[in-house]
Structure 1
Amino acid sequence: MKRILLGAALLVLGSQAAVAAGDAEAGKAKSGMCVACHGADGNSLAPMYPNLAGQHAQYLESAIKAYRDGQRTGGTTAMMTPMAANLSDQDAADLAAYFSQQKLKQK
């Protein structure tokens, strides 16, 4: 039982470390290409684009990588894939850290 609890604790800590790897300030500096659709602070300028503000960093990072790697399909794939194509894993982590720390504004 102790091994299971220890394993679970290490898994949680490991997943938090992966999220913490992103640098929010670096993400802010890299977010210029996101602003036109998602807003400077991750609050979308148009209802057809999702808000990024307040989303979980791990979700945002995995979504960016999925677009980049051609693993995500759907309505905005044609727009997002070229935007994510040249992003490194670090870029994805930084952008995710930045947008996850922004506050979602109620409209």
Structure 2
Amino acid sequence: MKKTIPLTILSAIFMLTFIPAAQAGDPEAGKAKSVVCAACHGADGISPNDLWPNLAGQKEGYLVKQIKAFKNGERKDPSMAPMVAALTDEDIANLAAYYASLK
């Protein structure tokens, strides 16, 4: 009798082989970079104002996606555009790692 590998296992192996691993950011470097963010989003990532969201505890991938969307103009906000304009991909990863690490 011939044994076969279930399709779900083959799919999982394929995905793990060909999808690049996400580079995790450095929370300490993100904390140092977050000083500017604190003016609106709070020193601990908890916004003091209902106009701006809390960043503490957000998922890292979500934060990366949203910051990049502000940077590339996909999301438009006159306050955020100048804040993210000079951020590198490494800065974004670090900020996301920092805020995701907060409770």
Which of the five TM-score ranges fits, normalised by the shorter chain?
0.7 to 0.9
Q: Distance in 2 between matches of 1:7 and 1:79?
A: 42
TM score, norm. by length of structure 2: 0.84
The structure with more helix, counted as a fraction of residues? 1
CA shift at 1:78, angstroms?
A: 0.5
Overall identity of the aligned pairs, in %: 51
CA shift at 1:69, angstroms?
A: 1.0
Match of 2:65 in 1: 62
Q: Distance in 2 between matches of 1:59 and 1:70?
A: 16
Q: CA RMSD in A?
A: 1.6
What letter matches 1:85 in structure 2?
A: A
Q: Distance in 2 between matches of 1:26 and 1:5?
A: 33
**Count of residues in Structure 1 that have an aligned counterpart in Structure 2:** 95
Match of 2:4 in 1: none
Match of 2:13 in 1: 6
- Structure 2: state its 5+ residue gaps: 1-6
Match of 1:45 in 2: 48
Match of 1:79 in 2: 79
Match of 2:33 in 1: 30
Shift >3 Å, 4+ stretches? none
Q: Distance in 1 between matches of 2:64 and 2:49?
A: 22
TM score, norm. by length of structure 1: 0.81
Match of 2:3 in 1: none
